[in-house]
Amino acid sequence: MKKTIKKKMSKITKIFLVLSLIFSNLSCLSTVFAYEIENSNITLEIDKENEKINITYQEETDANLKLKIQEKYSYLSGEPEIVNSESDVTLEELNAGYSYNLQLLGGIVFDGTYEIEVLLGYYEDDEFNEIDGNRYTEEFTFQKGLKYSVFTGDLELESTDGVYSLPENV
């Protein structure tokens, strides 16, 4: 018959074991806090039909707020089209939902990437200090391709499965 020998851990060993577990998990905690800092308190609501964006911010601040908005459209060729805007805004306007008319969204008719970036901050000594920001990105793809019509004189011919024919009464 085998005897099992139980060894008791000293109190110092237990303390070191607990401290090592705590310190080994601190790196995990810093990752969680960094993730929470990256979350934005600015809410963006895009109204594509009216080409507007509604910007809401519910946090408290005493700064004289500036809103920087950048709309950017990148064509498939990589050529960008950029519209920058900056305006004064009050905390009350942001709490109620500040409305901004978009410049580029309604004019997009080619494949590419549309991006809008909203930065909230204030100026101090001619330097912009960012408080918060948010970004919206959308890929546009037009899959319809080109349309063509066949005419005879002023009359557009009807197509059935790609075959064009003259109407009987012509």
**Is there a single domain that holds both residue 26 and residue 61?**
no
Query: Do residues 75 and 135 share a domain?
Result: yes
Number of structural domains the chain divides into: 2
Q: Residue 78: which pLDDT band, with cuts at 50, 70 and 90?
A: confident
Judge if 96 and 28 occupy the same domain. no
- Percent of the chain scoring above 90 in pLDDT: 24
Nearest to 69 by CA among 55, 48, 90: 55
What range does the domain containing 33 cover? 9-39
List CB contacts of 38: < 8 A, sequence separation 6 or more.
none
Contacts of 45 (CB under 8 A, 6+ apart): 53, 54, 56, 97
Do 45 and 129 fall into the same domain?
A: yes
Q: Let me know whether 87 and 109 are in one domain.
A: yes
Task: Say what the pLDDT of residue 148 is.
Answer: 65
CB distance 112 to 76 below 8 Å: yes
CATH number of the domain bearing residue 87: 2.60.40
Which residues, 6+ apart, have CB-to-CB distance to 164 below 8 Å? 150, 157, 158
Q: What is the pLDDT of residues 105-135, one digit of tens each?
A: 888 888 889 999 999 999 998 899 999 999 9
Question: In angstroms, rounded to a whole number, what is the distance separating the alpha carbons of residues 170 and 164?
Answer: 14
Q: What is the DSSP letter of 107?
A: G
